[in-house]
Chain A
Amino acid sequence: MNLHELSIAQLTRLLEGKKTSPEEIYTSFLTRIKEINPKINAYLTVINKPELDYSMRDKPLFGIPYSMKDTYNTKGIRTTAAAKVLDNYISPYDATAYTKLKKAGAVLIGKTNCDAWGHGSSTENSDFGPTKNPWNRDYVPGGSSGGSAASLAADLCSFSIGEDTGGSIRLPASFCSVVGLKPTYGLVSRYGCIAYASSLDTVGPMARSVEDTALVLEVLAGADSCDATTSQSKPPRYSQFLGRKIAGLKMGIPKEYFMKGMDDTVASTIAKAMKDLQKLGVEPVEISLPMTEYAISTYYLIAPSETSSNLARYDGIRFGTTRRSFGAEAKRRIMLGTFTLSHGYYDAYYKKATKVRTLIKNDFENAFKAVDFIIAPASPTPPFKLGEKVDDPLKMYLSDIYLVSVNLAGVPALSVPCGFTGNKLPISFQLIGRHFDETTLLNIGYQYEQVHGIYERPRIK
């Protein structure tokens, strides 16, 4: 039995029965990291000597090693957002997500690679070299939270905290065959998470099963006085709702998502997953999200506008290096955002996009009058090869076609693995829900997982 292959619930049971110790678990993961990480570059920082606090013994995630995307401030530990601008930045304070996980007894084992500032869909925009997909190292792991997804697929941590602004949790989760949840905007505090686009950014868990995802979400969720955009309502104990009856729930199938441009194997694999869900009693209903074709344009107006503002603070005076260290994609987005916010163009571009955003949000509100959740592919294609899209930014942006609407509408979405291509490249679907209805998504994902079976792991030579 390898400890690094066990779920959170399994590890917790072993710890409670005194069959293992937090040190032993940590060492198992750390040994695996030393062996595998040089091959896939999932971690930017590895913590060799953990702070194991035995007074946390009765806490829900006691002794569980996890990774965080390197966009979270962690006091005394280097935090780079995978950008050279922050090469030597040591956080002077803790992000709320990190504080909450510490208080739950979880142990940070390392910080993961990503596209610099969260800008990308492949992790190739990292200023510290790309992460490679553990399933096939010629392929990208997806992005921007690619290091988090790869660290999970390769069993280099028990769960990971990603960040999703336009699909950055769900795309890599899909490309690496792990579970990823983009929560409702405002469910999880963003305090201390390096900002990309503040009206879209969400902090969410990634894990190797839906149950693990639910266990982590219940630690992360809830109001925070340091983030005024968090909702004041008390979140439920998500794990307690897993296994409740789903028969009779209405599953929306958006016709715009199942049209041209989708890879045949992706289409047939998702179709099979939908059949499996129907066997569990959910009822399919065709729906329409007519504004879908405008989602990418709207996203690539709003997100660069906000990022040009957020990245203006990096002046090299208070912390970080000078603006000369920005990588190509950051510069591209800063300039695009500077343009769309500039005098004479603000109304035509930025303001226009905020109005189209309303229409996209209305699409989902209308759909949820008729259905309880929506199913969609996470990506129109399986993972692509390293280098395949790096020279064509627009082509790269279009990878997020099924993902960005969710961020624009602020609704939650769960990415769940459902199969592989003939070349053994992962495929996932996503379940999209009403605002703050993570409970339904996690429950459906959990029951699908029971039917579909425990996920395979890649063999890394």
Chain B
Amino acid sequence: MRVHIDWTACDGRGLCAELLPELLSEDDWGFPVARGDMTVPPALEPAARQAVDRCPALALKLITSDPARASS
């Protein structure tokens, strides 16, 4: 399971970096920065669900597989 950030929605309010400090930090402008590949270890699943639930911009999603980022 991975955390996906919809950057078109993210407003950098900083809740996710507080709830998931193991996975996310903040950049110079308060937007989340992935520490790794954003894979959620089982122990962090409750925190990840809470981060998804509490994100004020609804910018976070939990996904089970990585969509192929095919682009033109």
- The answer to whether A binds B is no
Listed in ascending order, the chain A residues whose CB lies under 8 Å from chain B are none
Listed in ascending order, the chain B residues whose CB lies under 8 Å from chain A are none
